[in-house]
Amino acid sequence: MNIFIDTSALLAVLDADDARHQRAKAFWENAINAGDRFVSHNYVLVETSALVGRRLGIEAFRIFERDVVSFLDIIWVTREIHSAAASALLIAARRSLSLVDCVSFEIMGRTGIQTAFAFDRHFLDYGYEAVP
């Protein structure tokens, strides 16, 4: 099964001090062992890299790049996807919603992925299943 993975889940997997770490790590390991594939996009990589570097340091960034990114199927955001997501963000006009979120929804819609490994309520708000 293909599961979209969001920055919120990636951070929870990487940060042992995160309140959701144990649950996120267990879900990550079970999904990998079951043969599930995690799908994301390069904007999530940029967002996660910035947050990991700032919050957890360069060693955590190294682990992210070496041990986590290799398990992700990355979709590279095209001009068309970016424009559609930017339009959706402007139409939604919600301060808490980000361009990265809107790109995620655009990609999920285009690929037919209905499940997100995420702790961001926006996925539920937009009609997707959020796990764990």
Element housing 80 (H / E): helix 79-92
Instruction: For the chain, 132 residues long, give each residue's pLDDT as a single digit of tens.
Output: 999 999 999 999 999 999 999 999 999 999 999 999 999 999 999 999 999 999 999 999 999 999 999 999 999 999 999 999 999 999 998 888 999 999 999 999 999 999 999 999 999 999 999 999
* CA pseudo-torsion sign 116, 46, 120, 106: negative
pTM of the model: 0.93
User: Which of 108, 96, 88 is CA-nearest to residue 44?
Assistant: 108
**Distance in angstroms (rounded) separating the CA atoms of residues 87 and 79:** 12
Give the pLDDT score at 94.
Answer: 83
Q: Which residues pair with 37 in a beta bridge?
A: 2
Q: Report CA-CA distances (Å) from 62 to 38, 47, 76, 100, 113.
A: 19, 15, 21, 22, 29
Give the pLDDT score at 132.
Answer: 94
Fold of 2-131: Rossmann fold (3.40.50)
The domains of the chain are located at 2-131
Contact 128, 17 (CB under 8 A): no
Tokens of residue 58, six digits? 């360069």
**Distance in angstroms (rounded) separating the CA atoms of residues 128 and 73:** 19
The count of other CB atoms within 10 Å of the CB of residue 87 is 12
Nearest-Å Rg of the Cα atoms of the chain is 14
